[in-house]
């Protein structure tokens, strides 16, 4: 037999959907390999007297069929592929021999030389599967895999798409670009999703809000056109329409457009209005969720929005119009009756009136309040108060938007723990 070395392995992508894969042994190796086999749609038969709790859960969920017994000759009948990983070397050897006799490709966890197949270190990034084999150095395989996947994710390894977006592929008429509405997270550039970052790296045009990870814009290559959404010239009332028009125009010019928004696009972000405007013009649009400031900004300041025995709910409310404003859609009386955490966005200007309304409708005046300005950024600042004092404190401390205001007993649970995610910089 030829010497086993890395150049002797022939890489191939197995299409296992609906095909029998036999897994012998329900330990750590199975636990690591099963998810990918399940994801590939394989008809997995697990043979093992015992299994780890995770493997057992996969069997309970019906993702694999589990026969609780030891390996017996004939178990590989009908298999296309086998994973041999029992803790009994004799059983492994016997199964290997059966696999060889039946021409079933088999991986051996205990003896790579005796195997007819090796499992590469694999990773995935948006439709690309990376599989790395380095012969006898699995750590190196994993490191190479990580470097490639990370590079694809953060855009440092550029791999342009040569096929159009599936939604655009069916469109008739001139080539149309694509818009991604990307939730950029609360501000710290590390808190954007990997998908958002990758799309940003591949953008021709970026239309960015004032909030969100502005620092990432500096990293964009010079050919990328960066447009400040706040500066698109139109009257204030027209601002959203102007942004929609800019998105449409650039996409119609065939550009890859990223609309970079603060937090999550659908949390007080008008993301759906933009998605609807794009849909009306037949422009393909992807929405990438983001880490909303509603949870992350309190968290960065050491405040959990729920805590066992303290708060079983948190409610997010926009305070951009005052409680007595007829345009307000908030039932403040009902909100005041809630016992859990209240997270107020866009409320700096109206916090005095909001606090007064909450107290008037029954929330205790001594309820702790924290105001977190520019959370997760280098300028993050927290001011503590109570419902009785927050209006004055916000004025006295010169708090300015953006700020998240947290009302409830969770505000004090982390006191003294020194928690908070920090700014990351």
Ligand X SMILES: C[S@@+](CC[C@H](N)C(=O)[O-])C[C@H]1O[C@@H](n2cnc3c(N)ncnc32)[C@H](O)[C@@H]1O
Distances (CA, A) of 124 to 104, 129, 243, 299, 408: 26, 5, 34, 30, 42
Count residues contacting ligand X (CB under 6 A)? 24
Window 20 to 59, contacts with ligand X (CB under 6 A): none
- Sequence-distant contacts of 306-312: CB under 8 A, at least 24 apart: 306/340, 306/341, 306/410, 307/409, 307/410, 307/413, 310/408, 310/409, 310/410, 310/413, 311/339, 311/340, 311/341, 311/408, 311/409, 311/410, 312/340
The Cα 207–Cα 213 span in angstroms is: 12
Binding mask 342-371 for ligand X (x = CB under 6 A): ---xx-------------------------
Q: Does 401 bind ligand X (CB under 6 A)?
A: yes
Mode of pairing for the β-strands spanning 341-345 and 403-407: antiparallel
Please report how close the Cβ of residue 206 comes to ligand X at its closest, in angstroms. Answer: 17
Please report how close the Cβ of residue 84 comes to ligand X at its closest, in angstroms. Answer: 49
The Cα 230–Cα 239 span in angstroms is: 8
Window 288 to 347, contacts with ligand X (CB under 6 A): 292-294, 297, 345-346
Binder among 25, 120, 155, 187 for ligand X (CB under 6 A): 187
Query: CB under 6 A: which stretch of 108-116, 169-177, 261-269, 355-363 binds ligand X?
Result: 261-269
Query: CB under 6 A: which stretch of 57-65, 260-268, 352-360, 384-392 binds ligand X?
Result: 260-268
Q: Which of 278, 47, 329 is nearest to 168 (CA)?
A: 278
Buried b (16+ CB within 10 A) or exposed e, 385-421: bbbbebbebbeeeebeebbbbbbbbbbebbeeeeebb
The residue (of 59 and 370) whose beta carbon lies closer to ligand X is: 370
Are 13 and 135 in contact by the 8 Å Cβ rule? The answer is no
The residue (of 120 and 262) whose beta carbon lies closer to ligand X is: 262
The residue (of 92 and 294) whose beta carbon lies closer to ligand X is: 294
The residue (of 91 and 291) whose beta carbon lies closer to ligand X is: 291
Please report how close the Cβ of residue 394 comes to ligand X at its closest, in angstroms. Answer: 13
Binder among 59, 403, 410, 411 for ligand X (CB under 6 A): 403
Residue 73 has a CB neighbour count (10 Å cut-off) of 11
Q: Check 75, 87, 190, 231 and give the catalytic one.
A: 231
Q: Check 75, 188, 209, 264 and give the catalytic one.
A: 209
Q: Which of 393, 383, 328, 385 is nearest to 357 (CA)?
A: 328
Please report how close the Cβ of residue 226 comes to ligand X at its closest, in angstroms. Answer: 19
Query: CB under 6 A: which stretch of 71-79, 146-154, 267-275, 381-389 binds ligand X?
Result: 267-275
The residue (of 30 and 399) whose beta carbon lies closer to ligand X is: 399
Q: Does 402 bind ligand X (CB under 6 A)?
A: yes
The Cα 261–Cα 288 span in angstroms is: 10
DSSP 171-187: --SS---EEEEEE-BSS
The residue (of 109 and 292) whose beta carbon lies closer to ligand X is: 292
Catalytic residues: 209, 231
Binding site for ligand X (CB under 6 A): 186-187, 211, 262-264, 267-269, 292-294, 297, 345-346, 372, 374-377, 401-404
């Amino acid at each position: 037999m030829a010497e086993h070395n890395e150049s002797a392995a022939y890489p191939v992508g197995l299409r296992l959907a609906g095909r029998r894969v036999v897994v012998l042994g329900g330990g750590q190796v199975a636990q690591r390999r099963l998810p990918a086999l399940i994801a590939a749609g394989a008809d997995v038969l697990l043979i093992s007297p015992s299994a780890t709790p995770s493997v057992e859960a996969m069997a309970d969920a019906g993702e694999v069929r589990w026969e609780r017994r030891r390996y017996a000759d004939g178990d590989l009948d009908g298999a296309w592929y086998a994973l041999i990983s029992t803790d009994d070397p004799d059983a492994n050897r016997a199964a290997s021999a059966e696999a060889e006799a039946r021409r079933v490709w088999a991986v051996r966890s205990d003896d790579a030389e005796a195997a007819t197949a090796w499992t590469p270190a694999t990773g995935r990034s948006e439709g690309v599967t990376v599989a790395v084999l380095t012969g006898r150095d699995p750590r190196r395989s994993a490191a190479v895999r990580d470097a490639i996947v990370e590079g694809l994710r953060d855009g440092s390894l550029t791999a342009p798409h040569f096929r159009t977006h599936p939604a655009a592929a069916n469109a008739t008429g001139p080539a149309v670009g694509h818009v991604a509405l990307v939730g950029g997270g609360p501000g710290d550039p590390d808190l954007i999703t990997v998908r958002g970052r990758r799309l940003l790296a591949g953008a021709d045009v970026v239309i960015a809000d004032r909030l969100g990870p502005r620092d990432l814009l500096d990293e964009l290559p010079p050919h990328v056109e960066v447009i400040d959404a706040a500066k698109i010239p139109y009257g204030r009332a027209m601002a959203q329409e102007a942004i929609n028009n800019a998105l449409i125009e650039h996409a119609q010019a065939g550009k890859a457009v990223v609309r970079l928004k603060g937090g999550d696009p659908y949390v007080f972000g008008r993301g759906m209005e933009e998605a609807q405007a794009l849909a009306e013009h037949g422009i393909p649009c992807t929405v990438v969720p983001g880490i909303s400031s509603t949870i992350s900004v309190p968290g960065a300041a050491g405040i959990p929005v729920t805590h066992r025995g303290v708060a079983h709910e948190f409610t997010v409310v926009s305070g951009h119009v005052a409680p007595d404003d007829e345009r307000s859609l908030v039932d403040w009386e009902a909100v005041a009756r809630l016992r859990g955490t209240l997270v107020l966005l866009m409320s700096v200007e109206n916090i005095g009136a909001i606090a007064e309304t909450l107290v008037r409708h029954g929330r205790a005046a001594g309820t702790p309040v924290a105001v977190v300005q520019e959370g997760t950024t280098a300028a993050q600042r927290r001011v503590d108060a109570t419902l009785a004092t927050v209006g004055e404190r916000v004025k006295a401390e010169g708090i300015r938007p953006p700020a998240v205001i947290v009302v409830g007993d969770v505000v004090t649970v982390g006191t003294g723990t020194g928690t908070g995610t920090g700014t990351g910089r």
